[in-house]
């Protein structure tokens, strides 16, 4: 368990962790992203670690909310000084605080009214980037834009149009990408400027509005793990269904439907299979609760109480989602048996992830019987991760899976 404090400095918010025992894993980018996620985690612009450093009061380590190492952040700097003094009580002389950050040594001071004064590094470079004046403060690049009326200036919209970096060398580009913030200020409203911190806020608002909007429109069931005890409500129906083109259907006169947003991924997969001389056909797609019950009923009659072990039950909810299909090939047909020995199955194992599909119940899984024909759409990013890490969807923590929901149809 990680003990943390939540801080904000002029609107930038941070998770601050006392890491003097070095127990926080700064390389676990997934964990960092999750902690900083505003819906699934604590929510923050970044994580700040306080660590020991000989000859200084402490060391500040700033990690961006995407897991990359951050540059020096003035708002975060004041927060960590507050944390060191008021929470950890490790500051020897509140009038003369010395700490070190990625850009070098900093001095800070606790003022009489309890506020914190922080000395930043001098501006190290002045120039032009993105056709705008540019200054490098410590390690953080800022673009400057002069505007007439700050109050009415569409900061988010204009800020969004300024590239994060200019393509120079790959090295410069990478550095700039992780560090560049866009800073806009008005020469006419110098007074207001003092109170408005646009740094990061622009980035944050931009991404948050998009993220919230997208998340609110994304069906949370699409990446849910189902089991014998947790399954879809009988009233659940996918937001929209589309017919699978007839050329890919095993039984020519059968109508098979799939989630509309998954259709192009499925047809791309099937075309690619075709181009590689694979004879892949779809034998089942979306199945309503009613259809499922009939199927399960049939199995129950034939196999009694052991029916749960059979396929009608295990793929149940996933077929009701509309994002899942059962494949077959001519040599196997409707029997399914032997599908795992076909070259089509091998091809699916190596290629389905490129189109966002994964095998739900692979060989040797701990949940259900092996179903080599049953593939579920989970989005390209998650499917690729599972493929690269050789992991099963059902073995992954639901919280980690949820982080991929936002990009499921990208
Ligand atoms: Zn199935």
In whole angstroms, how large is the CA radius of gyration of the chain? 27
Residue 215 belongs to some domain of the structure: no
Residue 213 belongs to some domain of the structure: no
How close is the Cα of 315 to the center of ligand 1, in Å? Answer: 5
Same domain as 250, residue 140: no
Residue 227 tokens read as: 């089991």
Percentage of the chain lying above the pLDDT 70 cut: 81
Same domain as 109, residue 93: yes
Residue 367 belongs to some domain of the structure: yes
Same domain as 364, residue 277: yes
CATH number at residue 358: 3.30.1380.10
Least reliable range by pLDDT among 189-203, 218-232, 257-271, 347-361: 189-203
Same domain as 334, residue 250: yes
For residues 377 and 394, what is the distance between their CA atoms, to the nearest angstrom? 13
For residues 263 and 241, what is the distance between their CA atoms, to the nearest angstrom? 9
How close is the Cα of 358 to the center of ligand 1, in Å? Answer: 12
Check pLDDT > 60 for residue 302: no
How close is the Cα of 37 to the center of ligand 1, in Å? Answer: 33
**pLDDT value of residue 312:** 40
Element (H, E) at 97: strand 97-101
Domain that holds residue 111: 5-118
Check pLDDT > 50 for residue 61: yes
**pLDDT value of residue 164:** 60
Q: What is the mean pLDDT of residues 210-216?
A: 73
Same domain as 190, residue 154: yes
Same domain as 237, residue 173: no
What pLDDT, in 10s, does the model give residues 71-106?
A: 778 899 999 999 999 999 999 999 999 999 887 889
Please tell me what DSSP assigns to residue 267. H
Q: What total of structural domains would you count in the chain?
A: 3
How close is the Cα of 134 to the center of ligand 1, in Å? Answer: 57
Contact 327, 352 (CB under 8 A): no
Q: At what angle do helices 343-351 and 260-275 cross, to 10 degrees?
A: 120
Q: Which is higher by pLDDT, 252 or 245? A: 245
What pLDDT, in 10s, does the model give residues 318-364?
A: 999 999 999 999 998 888 789 999 999 999 999 999 999 999 999 99
CATH number at residue 66: 3.10.310.10
How close is the Cα of 140 to the center of ligand 1, in Å? Answer: 51
Least reliable range by pLDDT among 10-24, 51-65, 101-115, 218-232: 218-232
Same domain as 299, residue 225: yes
Q: What would the DSSP string read from start to end of 105-169? A: EEEEEE-TTS-EEEPPPPEEEEEEETTEEEEEETTEEEE--EES-TTTS-HHHHHHHS-S---SS
Check pLDDT > 50 for residue 390: yes
Contact 160, 198 (CB under 8 A): no
Query: Which domain-ending residue is among 208, 238, 268?
Result: 208
How close is the Cα of 381 to the center of ligand 1, in Å? Answer: 22
Same domain as 148, residue 92: no
How close is the Cα of 323 to the center of ligand 1, in Å? Answer: 11
Same domain as 174, residue 29: no
How close is the Cα of 245 to the center of ligand 1, in Å? Answer: 19
What pLDDT, in 10s, does the model give residues 156-212?
A: 777 777 766 544 444 554 455 444 444 444 444 444 444 455 555 666 666 667 777
Residue 161 tokens read as: 């149009």
**pLDDT value of residue 181:** 47
Same domain as 356, residue 234: yes
How close is the Cα of 109 to the center of ligand 1, in Å? Answer: 64
Same domain as 299, residue 169: no
Query: Which domain-ending residue is among 97, 118, 139?
Result: 118
Q: What is the mean pLDDT of residues 352-377?
A: 93
Check pLDDT > 80 for residue 243: yes
């Amino acid at each position: 368990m990680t003990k943390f404090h939540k801080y904000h400095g002029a609107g930038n918010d941070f998770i601050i962790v006392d890491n003097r025992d070095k127990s926080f894993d700064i390389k676990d980018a997934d964990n960092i992203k999750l902690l900083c996620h505003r819906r699934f985690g604590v929510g923050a612009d970044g994580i700040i670690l306080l660590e020991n450093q000989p000859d200084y009061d402490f060391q500040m380590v700033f990690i961006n909310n995407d897991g990359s190492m951050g540059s020096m952040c003035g708002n975060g700097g004041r927060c960590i000084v507050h944390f060191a003094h008021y929470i950890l009580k490790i500051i020897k002389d509140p009038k003369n605080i010395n700490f070190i950050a990625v850009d070098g040594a900093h001095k800070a001071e606790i003022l009489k009214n309890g506020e914190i004064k922080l000395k930043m590094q001098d501006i190290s470079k002045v120039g032009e980037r993105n056709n705008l004046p540019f200054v490098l403060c410590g390690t953080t690049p800022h673009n400057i834009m002069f505007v007439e009326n700050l109050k009415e200036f569409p900061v988010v919209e204009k800020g969004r149009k300024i590239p994060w970096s200019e393509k120079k060398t790959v090295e410069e580009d990478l550095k700039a990408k992780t560090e560049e913030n866009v800073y806009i200020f008005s020469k006419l409203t110098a007074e207001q400027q003092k109170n408005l911190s646009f740094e990061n806020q622009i980035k944050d608002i931009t991404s948050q509005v998009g993220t919230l909007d997208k998340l609110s429109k994304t069906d949370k069931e699409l990446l849910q793990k189902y089991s014998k005890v947790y399954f879809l409500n009988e009233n659940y129906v996918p937001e929209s269904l589309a017919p699978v083109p007839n050329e890919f259907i095993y039984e020519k006169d059968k109508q098979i439907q799939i989630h509309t947003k998954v259709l192009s991924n499925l047809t791309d997969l099937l075309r690619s299979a075709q181009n590689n001389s694979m004879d892949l056909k779809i034998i089942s797609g979306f199945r309503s609760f009613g259809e499922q019950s009939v199927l399960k009923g049939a199995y129950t009659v034939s196999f009694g109480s052991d029916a749960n072990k059979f396929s009608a039950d295990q793929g149940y909810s996933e077929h009701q989602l509309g994002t899942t299909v059962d494949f077959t090939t001519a040599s196997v047909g409707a029997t399914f048996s032997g599908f795992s020995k076909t070259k089509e199955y091998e091809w699916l194992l190596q290629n389905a992830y490129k189109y966002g599909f994964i095998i739900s119940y692979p060989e040797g899984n701990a949940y259900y019987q092996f179903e080599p024909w049953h593939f579920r759409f989970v989005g390209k990013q998650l499917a690729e991760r599972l493929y690269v890490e050789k992991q099963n969807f059902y073995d992954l923590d639901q919280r980690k899976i949820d982080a991929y929901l936002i990009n499921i149809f990208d």
